[in-house]
Chain A
Amino acid sequence: MTDQELARDLGFLEAYTIGLGTMIGAGIFVLPSIAAEQAGPASMISFFAGGLVSLLAAISLSELATGMPKAGGSYYYVNRALGPFFGSIVGWGMWAGLTFASAFYMIGFGQYLLPGLGKYIGFLAGWGEIGITVAALVMAALLTGVNYYGVKETGALQNVIVLTLVGLIVAFLGLGAASGPTIGTFLPPEGWPAVAATIGTVYVTFIGFEVIATSAEEIKNPSRNLPLAMIAAVVTPTLMYVGVMFVSTGTLSIEALADSPIPVADVATEIMGPIGALAMIVGAVLATVSSANASILSAARVNFAMGRDKILINWLNEVHDRFRTPYRAISATGIITLVLIAIGVGIGTLAEVASFMYLVTYALVHIAVIVLRRADPDAYDPAFRIPSVLYPIVPILGFVACIAILLQMSFIVQAIGGIIVIFGILWYFVYARDRALSQSLVGEAIAPEPTTVADGQGRYRVVVPVANPETERDLLRMAAASAHAHDSETAEVVAVNIIEVPQQTSLEQDLTFEETRVERQQELLDSARDIADDLDVGLRTHAIVGRNAGSAILDVIEEESADHVLLGWKGKRSRREHVLGSTIDPVIGRAPCDATLVKLGPEGGRATGEIMVLAGEGPHAPVAARRAREFAEAADEEARLTLFNVQEPGEDDDGLSPRERGEALIEEFVERTGLEETQYESRIEVAEDIEGAILDAATGYDTICVGATRTGAVSQAVFGSLPETIGEQTDQTVVMSRGPEESAMSIRQAIVRRLES
């Protein structure tokens, strides 16, 4: 909690200027020529409509960003709400959109630098298209370098740039209006559809406000500041753009504007003379650079978020040990940007593809809001909610508007955008599907109301994957303890062993060569049956040959309508692609039932003896207590339960001492878990360093039971850092548990339920 507070250092003004810094970017300096060519003075309507569409997206995004303040912005919300299929599309879409936008900004930079400044500085003139491309390439490479090395940009510099730009545009508007612009005919030369199509072209200027959502975790008092900053960062530039188009089309002829690589500076020459034009050129150079910079940084954040959700290889997200930047992600973004500049796609197309990708993204963001509202996962509690008069009008209208603009865009843009979307889909099927941690909440949203996971026959089943003869017995004993606690007549344990076969070989082919593995599997499952006889519990076994142990286990859980899955863990966090292990991550992350992960400690203390339960406020702490009680009951006299709680020193706001707080908490905890007085002892400690105190105390017990600290609905961590640290740091047996609330049903299941009810 305190960490969170300390990390928040952006007030309304800072959030607003970050948004403005990317919004008042290249767009307004470059687009007037393209927009005027397509729709004449009526392109003002295009800018205005683009602003409205963004405003709708800003309102939806505000709710999502305050509900889930995580790095990655729109990608993250869509992935959480709609699952990894749409997550892949939006992740790659945003990343592509940001690289296309960076390339667009950089070419705009080249245009203002060479033909623009060339009027004042001789040697910059006369380099033609090649010169512009080279200037764009050099600047893009430079920006990539700056972000690779993590050269610090300060808030002060950012403010100076934004203030300069706002000042320049206000001066441009003021003097422009005073010079009496005259608009000949407002009717668009090529008819009203061209105005609609132009929305698609200019939309690229509006993608910047997303940056505010991406920084949600850093904004103070987000329920107020975040929506305000987003809305202000959309409204201000919208008004400015409409004004700039008004002055531009009123001062120069459409032809002159359309032919100019530096439209705003040419207009400024008319109304303010050469000094004014020079000022606008300097402004444009600043703006293009600052926009491209923000885009490159945002693209790296999207990569990070995708890696965190296992949709992308984490290799890309390694932090440089010296510069502390995600240097690989930055380099990748930079290289693609350079390629896009070099192949000469054309500045208009670059802008339109970036717009396309963001319109796809925002269309899905609107859907994500509705899905999250309907599914209402426990951890989704946005500080800002779309006011009831605007919901669900805003997301529905926003979705329809995004789709309408997409349909208006030119064929070539739809084709390129379509290819990127198809790439995202293929990526999902080839890479992400088996790895992704998240699931779609769409099913939850369609289903009539939350349903509890229950077997049709009411039989309690515990699934136990077994792989190691040395740990098999203990895992089965713990599973049996859980089964016995639930009507031991019918409860049963299901032991599973999987032989994993690499992708390249066919399943049969590999098996003939691996007879020893098959024999081992049989031995393991045979001894599981013996153990089950000893424990007096019903047991069935599954021997499986499959590509991926994680998905095979999940299949068994679904097939058996299991109530509980119990896995063993070696006690080492994986450093690279996985959090706890390649099989553990997906099973714990996605199993729709109770899930328990056990790290076995020294013999004689495995789920017996002194059992400590961390009694905290975490949503899954009561599940840990339930597991502990099952163990204690199974072990009869040999086990004792202790509820343990650590409080920070000092009185709280209500004047309670730490000890009083701890006692109140344990009392409430006992109520939630239904333990009885005689079953437990309680122990409260006071310490600054909660984690340290827990680790110290843990050494005095045989088994430590801890609930997941994070809820899966919003976060991708497997159990949370505290349980995982305890599991890793202590030598004792550690049992981590979570309840089933993060289960999400498939769309098919949900529709079936809806039809049945």
Chain B
Amino acid sequence: MPESLFRHALVPVASPEDAESTMRALRPYVESAEGDVTVINVIEKAGGAPDKASVEQREDYAHKMFSVARDEMADTDCTPTTEIRYGTDVAETIIETAHEINASAIVFTPRGGNRWIRLLTGDVGLSLVSESDLPVITLPEPNDD
């Protein structure tokens, strides 16, 4: 039998809200697979142009996401590993990280939004699905509160 897809999930998060809903959706799967979780936030760099926000400010923001993610998993056996990554292409950086840490799958919850919003923010979800050579799992957002 192939190994569980949740042996070591790489979870890219983009905001504290995203971290919360993704971890909540992911939690039951990780618990039943007794897997590991690595949460990353990719700080997008402009690669030569001024960035849209200071790196330091976005690092603070990433720490907020990590704190939310750990809170979500606080009463389980799994303590998520957290890491900030930097790259000009968010999807590519996520996939590279997944290989580096030998992840079994990349897991995220889709963030919705209309076509216009996706155009502005860059559709990282789509790029992940189309570019990744590792399994990519999208979990539906949990609707219980």
Contact = CB atoms under 8 A, between A and B. Distances in A.
Contacts of B86: 3, 6-7, 9
Contact of B79 (A70, A154, A696): A696
Interface string B1-35: 00000000000001111100000000000000000
A321 B48 contact: no
Interface in A379-397: none
6 contacts: A7-B45, A71-B54, A153-B49, A321-B17, A691-B82, A729-B74
A17 B48 contact: yes
Interface string B27-67: 00000000000000001111111111111111111011001
B127 interface: no
Instruction: With a 10 A CB-CB cut-off, give which of A71, A152, A725 has the most chain B CB atoms.
Output: A152
Contacts of A304: 53-54, 56-57
A158 B88 CA distance: 14
A154 B88 CA distance: 9
B122 interface: yes
Nearest to B63: A721
B48 A324 contact: no
Contacts of B14: 321, 324
Nearest to A211: B50
Given A6-B85, A71-B57, A150-B120, 8 more contacts: A7-B43, A9-B45, A72-B54, A152-B52, A158-B49, A215-B50, A304-B56, A573-B67
A325 B17 CA distance: 15
A214 to B, nearest CB: 8
A9 B57 contact: no
Contacts of A325: 52-53
Nearest to A22: B50
Interface in A309-335: 317, 319, 321-326
A446 interface: no
B81 interface: yes
Interface string A684-700: 00001101100110000
A648 interface: no
Contact of A689 (B61, B81, B117): B81
B48 A158 contact: yes
Contacts of A563: none
Interface string B84-125: 111010000000000000000000000101000100111000
Given A152-B52, A155-B48, A323 B58 contact: no
Nearest to A69: B56
Interface string A158-169: 110000000000
Interface in A284-313: 293-294, 297-298, 300-301, 304-305, 308
A411 B38 CA distance: 60
A224 B49 CA distance: 20
A597 B61 CA distance: 24
Given A9-B45, A573-B67, A70 B84 contact: no
Secondary structure type dominating chain B contacts: mixed
B48 A14 contact: yes
A149 interface: yes
B46 A155 contact: yes
B121 A155 contact: no
Given A6-B85, A7-B55, A324 B49 contact: no
A308 B86 CA distance: 22
B52 A692 contact: no
A728 interface: yes
Contact of B48 (A10, A149, A692): A10
Contacts of A17: 48
A9 B55 CA distance: 12
B37 to A, nearest CB: 11
A178 interface: no
A297 B52 contact: yes
A696 B113 CA distance: 39
A157 to B, nearest CB: 7
A147 interface: yes
Interface of B: 14-18, 43-61, 63-64, 67, 70, 74, 79, 81-82, 84-86, 88, 111, 113, 117, 120-122
B26 to A, nearest CB: 18
Interface of A: 3, 6-7, 9-10, 14, 17-18, 21, 70-72, 147, 149-159, 211, 214-215, 217-218, 293-294, 297-298, 300-301, 304-305, 308, 317, 319, 321-326, 573, 575, 688-689, 691-692, 695-696, 721, 725, 728-729
B46 A153 contact: yes
A157 B54 CA distance: 20
B121 A319 contact: no
Secondary structure type dominating chain A contacts: helix
Contact of A218 (B53, B55, B117): B55
Contacts of B79: 692, 695-696
Nearest to A5: B86
B52 A147 contact: yes
Given A321-B15, A321-B16, A154 B67 contact: no
Contacts of A7: 43, 45, 55, 86
B48 A18 contact: yes
A147 B53 CA distance: 9
Contacts of A300: 53
Given A9-B86, A294-B50, A324 B44 contact: yes
A71 B55 contact: yes
Contacts of B85: 6
A577 B15 CA distance: 19
Nearest to A218: B55
Contact of A729 (B52, B56, B70): B70
Contacts of A155: 46-49, 88
Contact of A319 (B50, B61, B70, B120): B61
A37 B53 CA distance: 39
A233 to B, nearest CB: 13
Contacts of B44: 152, 324
A218 B54 CA distance: 10
B58 to A, nearest CB: 7
Instruction: With a 10 A CB-CB cut-off, give which of B15, B52, B59 has the most chain A CB atoms.
Output: B52
B78 to A, nearest CB: 11
B17 A319 contact: no
A302 B39 CA distance: 30
B126 to A, nearest CB: 16
Nearest to B113: A322
Ranked nearest first, the 5 interchain pairs of A and B with the lowest CB-CB distance are A155-B48, A71-B54, A321-B15, A158-B49, A155-B47
A154 B53 CA distance: 14
Contacts of B48: 9-10, 14, 17-18, 154-156, 158-159
A84 B15 CA distance: 31
A157 B50 CA distance: 11
Contact of A217 (B56, B74, B88): B56
Contact of B18 (A157, A159, A321): A321
Nearest to A321: B15
Instruction: With a 10 A CB-CB cut-off, give which of B50, B56, B86 has the most chain A CB atoms.
Output: B50
B121 A154 contact: no
A312 to B, nearest CB: 13
Given A321-B16, A692-B79, A154 B46 contact: yes
Instruction: With a 10 A CB-CB cut-off, give which of B56, B63, B81, B111 has the most chain A CB atoms.
Output: B56
Contacts of A324: 14-15, 44, 52-53, 58, 61
A71 B56 contact: yes
Contacts of B58: 319, 324
A689 B101 CA distance: 11
A72 to B, nearest CB: 8
A3 B87 CA distance: 12
B62 to A, nearest CB: 10
Contacts of A326: 53, 57
Nearest to A691: B82
A70 B45 contact: no
Contacts of B46: 152-155, 158
A714 B53 CA distance: 21
A150 B53 CA distance: 9
Contacts of A298: 50
